[in-house]
Amino acid sequence: MQQQAVRKKGSVLAANRYHRQVLFAPIGEAGQEKLSQSHVLIVGVGALGSSSAEALARAGVGKLTLIDRDYVEESNLQRQQLFSELDMKNKLPKAVAAKQRLAAVNSLIEIEAIVGDAEADNLSQLVSQVDLIIDATDNFETRLLLNDLAQKYRKPWIYGACVASYGITFTVIPDQTPCLQCLQDYIPQQGATCDSVGVIQPVVQKVTSHQVTEALKLLTGNEANLSGKLTAFDLWKNQHTEVDVATLRNPDCPSCSEARSYPNLAYDARMKTTVLCGRDTVQLRPQSKQVELAEVARELQKNKQIQLVRNPYLLSFEVDSFRIVLFQDGRALIHGTMDQMEAKNIYYRYLS
């Protein structure tokens, strides 16, 4: 009896909660039920990831998995809507801070936070389990990796990127649309980054507004309404372009054709040192993964000049002109250099 009452109360709460969305005819009760049964992977929890995650959590997507390698910094607060000054002070990993905030927004859904790099091994496992992937990464290598994995497991994914006042998005459906590899020549890949030319917050919202709407269409069985176009815009210059790319599917594409070889999966396996573009930072990813942060901290504290900041997920300290951050999965960020050898030297000097 009591259980029934609780269940009834829960369903009444949920009915109120999603009422305006259920009233929207293309979604309706059936669509809402499909959303509650859906599992979405969001790769990257920066500006795009924060915005998509909040929208999908509020919409009632049953399970969200968030993966991000970074932690909250002051320069994120202008546009990364899930984070607070306290998250910054505590140097919380973005995935963890996002989960805390999202759980406060919607306690009826499940949120999984993964602090780690989006690389072939762990992404492969995640991609195979979800219904849909939202791209919210900050680099093209990871997008190409996602593209290959999405093709391999036949999962739809929604590409999105922005810089300055420019944004671009496209929904990739395996066996139907061109993939990112097919469209490489039509998409800007390098050059300007948010760290070199900046970014304004509304452009983030516009990209995720497209991504989340496409996600809702896909998840609620409204595929007929998908855009099918490559959408690009510049909010400052008042430009909006929709490019019909249906004919651009490459019959010899190494990622989505019959003769596919998934070239980006092999490439990722070799990547161990990454210069984080425009951030004056090198990321090092040693082959042995887990580290004992407590043990490393004990060693470091023998050096009285090192001021250590620690939380359960990472430790951070400054030495000379560098700031070093070590995560539990063994990754390290060396801020203050773009020289990979120098970064390795610092790593071996202090962290091994």
First to last CA, the chain: 59
User: In angstroms, what is the minimal distance from the CB of 172 to Zn ion?
Assistant: 9
Residue 13 φ/ψ, nearest 5 degrees: -60, -45
Q: Residue with the closest Cβ to Zn ion?
A: 253
* Active-site residue (options: 162, 179, 182, 194): 194
Task: Spell out, one character per residue from 261 to 280, where the chain touches Zn ion: x when CB under 5 A holds, - when not.
Answer: --------------------
| 182 versus 204: smaller Cβ distance to Zn ion | 182
**Per CB under 5 A, which region of 200-208, 249-257, 273-281, 285-293 contacts Zn ion?**
249-257
CA angle 132, 247, 233 (to 5 degrees): 65
CB 64, CB 57: distance < 8 Å:
yes
| 32 versus 255: smaller Cβ distance to Zn ion | 255
Q: Which helix (H) or strand (E) holds 113?
A: strand 110-115
User: In angstroms, what is the minimal distance from the CB of 178 to Zn ion?
Assistant: 6
User: In angstroms, what is the minimal distance from the CB of 207 to Zn ion?
Assistant: 22
Instruction: Select the residue interacting with Zn ion from 72, 92, 253, 291 (CB under 5 A).
Output: 253
Q: How far apart are CA 115 and CA 68, in angstroms?
A: 5
**Per CB under 5 A, which region of 40-48, 96-104, 122-130, 250-258 contacts Zn ion?**
250-258
User: In angstroms, what is the minimal distance from the CB of 256 to Zn ion?
Assistant: 3
From the centroid of its chain, how far is CA 29?
Answer: 29
By CB under 5 A, the residues from 157 to 186 that bind Zn ion are 179, 181-182
| 255 versus 264: smaller Cβ distance to Zn ion | 255
| 136 versus 179: smaller Cβ distance to Zn ion | 179
Distances (CA, A) of 10 to 27, 101, 105: 21, 21, 16
Residue 64's nearest CA partner among 15, 6, 136 is: 136
Total residues found in the chain within this entry: 352
User: In angstroms, what is the minimal distance from the CB of 182 to Zn ion?
Assistant: 3
**Per CB under 5 A, which region of 106-114, 155-163, 245-253, 261-269 contacts Zn ion?**
245-253
Q: What is the CA radius of gyration of the chain?
A: 21
By CB under 5 A, the residues from 279 to 338 that bind Zn ion are none
| 149 binding Zn ion? (CB under 5 A) | no
In the sheet with 63-68, reading across from the earlier edge strand, the strands are 110-115, 63-68, 39-43, 132-135, 157-163, 166-172, 229-234, 239-244
Q: Which helix (H) or strand (E) holds 52?
A: helix 47-59
**Count of residues touching Zn ion (by CB under 5 A):** 6
User: In angstroms, what is the minimal distance from the CB of 149 to Zn ion?
Assistant: 13
Residue 128 φ/ψ, nearest 5 degrees: -65, -20
Please confirm, yes or no, whether 194 is among the known catalytic residues. Answer: yes
DSSP characters over 117-152? ---HHHHHHHHHH-SEEEE--S-HHHHHHHHHHHHH
| 175 versus 320: smaller Cβ distance to Zn ion | 175
| 191 versus 251: smaller Cβ distance to Zn ion | 251
Instruction: Select the residue interacting with Zn ion from 256, 325, 326, 346 (CB under 5 A).
Output: 256
Helix (H, G, I), strand (E, B) or coil at 268: helix
Q: How far apart are CA 227 and CA 158, in angstroms?
A: 11
Binding site for Zn ion (CB under 5 A): 179, 181-182, 253, 255-256
Task: Report the catalytic residues.
Answer: 194
